[in-house]
Structure 1
Amino acid sequence: MRRLFLHINVSIDGYIADLDGDIDWRFADEEFQAHLDTMLESIDGMVFGRTAFEQLAGYWPTAGDEVSATQRRRMHELPKYVMSRTLRDTEWHNSHLLGDDPATALNDLKRQDGQDLALFAGGQAATAAIGLGVLDQLRLLVNPVILGSGTRLFDGTYPKKDLRLVGTRKFASGALLSTYDLVAEE
């Protein structure tokens, strides 16, 4: 069975975007770019919330040399699944709406053979995925910055979840990738 993991940049104080919605505060050095290439090669699909999907769909189809060839190729070819109650169609290559019951759709995808799925989402979609009980792992890339305000990673109501630390990786920039499995409820 495949797993669904959240992979997201976050500030030390828990924000994923600054007050203006920008993410230009996150680091993106060569070491991190290599990590992204490896991670994209290890998955069979990507899950997005509507906002992240629309932003990325406006960028990736025309991305140039500022990103690696691996990132351009994988962002184009991988299936993209969108959690949205308002979006009615998608134009980005190989994109699919999850429909009115995203928990069932995601659990069906997880039951398929293949490699894991990555949730690249904003705060609302990440919070929704926690609430739906479909996330298996959190990969939080904690950046060495305090933003003070902005968009929180988890903001809203969701059930308590116990986590188990399964890995860490320190980048030269000072960012720390912390990987947590969600502990299954008994």
Structure 2
Amino acid sequence: MRGKLRLFFACSIDGYIAKRNGDVEWLGQFSLPGENYGYDEFLSDIDVILLGRKSYEKVLTFPEFPYNKPCYVITLQKNLPSDSRVIFTSELTKTVIEILAEGKNIYADGGAVLISELIKQNLVDEMTITTLPIILGNGIRCFKMGIGESIYSLQKIEHFPSGLIQVKYIKNFKEN
């Protein structure tokens, strides 16, 4: 049985995942103590983490490395220092297809470049998008322009006391 590639991310009302300088501190202003918006449940069904290089570099600034599962970093950069917690690869599509063929579920925790490429390659099965009640006005968008059309079905909508709205979509794959 084929695994699934899943996205789980937060964005502003106007579709930004970070400020222009990469800052994501604004995400924390809406968090309530003890609430993780389904993230732990989501992560419990994930076997492999997929990160873009910039997201990986951001994760390295955290007090602790947040993942205890196999992590792949997609990068074209050759001079990154070795890190026993991750596997560096430049072969996005091949890597994803091989992992999914093993029946493993992937969490793509990347920025707009990685996410957009995965959507463009028709590899994203599910996405959970949490919208925060803030307009940033500019920054790093959820999706890059030119990824093409993809149709998803609404699976679930949930709202939280902090004003966040979470929407889960499932990919509509065309049958041949």
Equivalent pair of 1:46/1:118 in contact (CA under 8 Å)? yes
Could you list the runs of 5+ residues in structure 1 that have no partner in the other structure? 64-71
Report what 2:123 is aligned to: 134
Deviations along 1:71-112, whole A, 9 cap, x unmatched?
Answer: x6xx3421111121114556444311233x311210110111
SS in 2 for 1:169: strand
Query: Aligned to 1:106, which of 96, 99, 106?
Result: 96
| Letter of the structure 1 residue corresponding to residue 152 of structure 2 | L
Task: Please say if 1:125 is aligned against 2:114.
Answer: yes
User: Segments of 4+ in structure 1 off by > 2 A?
Assistant: 27-42, 87-94
Query: Aligned to 1:162, which of 126, 145, 151?
Result: 151
Report what 2:41 is aligned to: 38
Query: Aligned to 1:57, which of 55, 60, 80?
Result: 60
Task: Indicate the structure with greater helix content.
Answer: 1
Seen in structure 2, the aligned counterparts of structure 1 residues 89 and 18 have a Cα distance that, compared at 3 Å, is closer
TM-score, structure 2 length as denominator?
Answer: 0.87
Query: What is the identity percentage for the equivalent residue pairs of Structure 1 and Structure 2?
Result: 23
SS in 1 for 2:170: strand
Task: Please say if 1:77 is aligned against 2:68.
Answer: yes
Could you list the runs of 5+ residues in structure 2 that have no partner in the other structure? none
2: distance between equivalents of 1:7 and 1:85?
Answer: 24
Q: How many residues are paired up?
A: 172
1: distance between equivalents of 2:37 and 2:26?
Answer: 19
Please tell me the root mean square deviation across aligned C-alpha atoms, in Å: 2.0
TM-score, structure 1 length as denominator?
Answer: 0.83
Deviations along 1:165-186, whole A, 9 cap, x unmatched?
Answer: 1112212211111111121134
2: distance between equivalents of 1:95 and 1:79?
Answer: 7
Seen in structure 2, the aligned counterparts of structure 1 residues 41 and 20 have a Cα distance that, compared at 3 Å, is same
